[in-house]
Amino acid sequence: MVFTEFMELIQTRRSIRDFTEESVSIKDIEEIIDCARFAPSDTNSQTWEFIAVVNREKIKQIEDFTWEQLHLRAAEAEEKGLAREAKLLVRSFGPYATAFSGAPVLIVCLSTPYASKFRERIFDPLEFGGPEIWDEEGLKSSSLASQNLMLAAHAKGLATCPMTGPVLLAEEKLREFLDIPEDRLVNMVIALGHPAISPKATPRKEVAEILRIVE
C-alpha cells in the first residue's frame, strides 16, 4: 500500500451510528479481528479479547439495561437537586451511550491480565507500581487493537462507532449478561455494520497545533 492510499483510509473513516438492516458475515468479523490481533502491545503481551454479539435481540437487551441504568443515575441526580444535569444526561448523553442499538453486531473489547518478563523479573520484585498501572497497560494495548479493528472494518466497506456508554453506565449488567470473567477489564464497545449514512468530515486540529518538534 502506498502512503496516499493509507492516508485516504484513515481520513475517510467515520464514526457511524446509523446502519442498514444488512447482516455482517462471521467471516468478515473473523477477518477484522485477525487484523486487530496484529496491533502492537507492551512486550507482546497481547492483552486483548473480543466478544462479538450478533444477535439483535441481545443487542436490544444491552441497550435496554443501559438506558435503565442511565435513568437511575438521572433520578439520583434529581434527588441531589441536579435536575438540569439529569435532563442533559438523558437527552444528550443517552442517545450517544446507546448508539449501537441499530447495529447488527456489537463488539465488546476487553483487556486481559497484563503479564510480561519485565513485570515478573524486575518490577514486581522491586514493588514498582500497583495493580492499576498494569490494568492501564492492558487497556492501552487493547485500545491499539481496537483501532486496527475499526480501520480494517472501514477497508471492508463496513462502519464502526466506538463508545463507552454501556461500560460507564452498566458495566456490571454487561458482565453478567455476557459472562465476562472478573479478571477481564471492559474497555469499550464498538458498533459494527453496513453504513446507512455518509457523514462529512469533522474538523481536525492542524498538525502545527498538536506537534512540537525537539531538535
Q: What is the CATH number of the domain that holds 130?
A: 3.40.109.10
- Is residue 215 assigned to a domain? no
The DSSP symbol for 156 reads: T
pLDDT digits over 35-52, tens only?
999 999 988 999 999 999
Asked if residue 13 lies in contact with residue 154, where contact means CB atoms within 8 angstroms, the answer is yes
Query: Which residues 6+ apart lie within 8 Å of 122 measured at CB?
Result: 128
- Is residue 10 assigned to a domain? yes
- Is residue 179 assigned to a domain? yes
Report pLDDT for 94: 94
- Is residue 40 assigned to a domain? yes
Query: Which residues 6+ apart lie within 8 Å of 156 measured at CB?
Result: 28, 31, 32
Report pLDDT for 127: 83
Quote the number of domains for the chain: 1
- Is residue 89 assigned to a domain? yes
Give the N- to C-terminal CA distance of the chain in Å, as an integer: 31
Q: Which of 156, 63, 152, 155 lies closest to 103, judged by CA?
A: 63
Residue 174 has pLDDT above 90, yes or no: yes
Q: Cα 73 vs. chain centroid, distance in angstroms?
A: 22
Q: Show the domain range for 203.
A: 3-210
Q: Cα 112 vs. chain centroid, distance in angstroms?
A: 15
Q: Which of 14, 15, 22 lies closest to 164, judged by CA?
A: 15
Report pLDDT for 119: 83
